[in-house]
Amino acid sequence: MTLIAHVDMDAFYASVEMARHPELREVPMFVGGSTRGVVLSANYPARRYGIAGGMPSSRARRLCPQVAVVPPDFDHYGEVSAGIEEIFDTVTDRVEMASIDEAFLDLTTAMRRLGGDPDEVAAGLRAQIADEQGVPCSVGMGPSKFIAKLASNHAKPDGMLRVPASDVVSFLHPLPVEAIWGVGEATATKLHRLGLDTVRDIASTPRATLCRALGDTQGALLYDLSWGRDDRSVLAREPAEHSVGSQETFGHDTDDADLVATEILRMAERTASRMRAQQMVGRTVTLSVRFADFTTITRTGTLPAYTDRTNDIHAEAMRLFRRLNLQRARIRRVGVRAEKLVPKSVTYEQPALDDPARGWGEADAATDNLVLRFGPHALRRARLTRRPAVTTGAE
């Protein structure tokens, strides 16, 4: 049975800014122009005043004179979006980014691999996005992209809803015609003039009647959608450059070498987990360090053999860090990236004679499954329980 998820970030730009500036969480705020331009994204306290995306900024300020206005930082939003996409890659290789803040995931094959309850997998995904990127999301699941998208809309804000195939009609038919994908104001007006106000009304109308009123293509499409029929597949992108990485931006510049080392371990673990999810291995590890003055240095090392193990990648990243010989330098961001990856299936690992039958490889795999099913806090290395204030993203 096909299972599609639609993941939609809630008030994405505003949520990213609130992650960076927690003091904005409880006050009305929007991202956009202060006096000119439009509202790009508003938080929920601002929405209570009627402020909405696309509204002129001047009108938003009249509705709520005390509203906080944050200028957009599109580079940072792109980094967060890329980080979220890398989380999706840990679940399935069939990911379609519909925009910077929403995506479709085909979970059909992934669920066969993971087993368990789809709700647990979706909850783990939501928890991981919140933990790594600091933003909430809503997840809808269903047998098609159309139903998954409707389910995520119903789950907002910060919720989750799965519509099984057996419940599609009962879920769909009470909805207004405007809920159907592609029904804008003009089409909705035509439908209302025909006396069609709900999806059930459309489903009860002969296909031929809809085609005469709306045209063959649109009439047939609306009829099929009114019964939940949608055969569009998730358009998985072409494989990107064969590298995987993660980075942490500290909430405050730090010269605490122990704190930096902890975050390098966290980044190594995250990077290795994503490699394993993509069934890729590598020998090249790159460490990046950005300082308080925004200068950035990178160092690259080569491992003796291909690997996807957290310990191997972490050990090389720490070797590179120690070779920098930093003396109380204030650090803003660290990142760990594995490059020149190849499919695990084309490599062979020669075990040593004294290797145990089971080791860190099996421990990493077990950890990945637990984190995916139960969220990022299901199982962690003791050192990683120390969590500084950071904003996160993908390199």
CB 278 within 8 A of CB 89: yes
Choose the catalytic residue: 17, 86, 96, 102: 102
According to the annotation, is 258 in a ligand binding site? no
69 pairs with which residues across the strands?
30
Is 102 considered catalytic here?
yes
What is the phi/psi pair of residue 80, to 5°?
-65, -40
User: Residue holding tokens 């933990």?
Assistant: 131
According to the annotation, is 101 in a ligand binding site? yes
Joined tokens for residue 149: 């998208």
Annotated binding site for Mg(2+): 8, 101
User: Which amino acids are annotated catalytic?
Assistant: 102
Q: Which residues are annotated as a binding site?
A: 8, 101
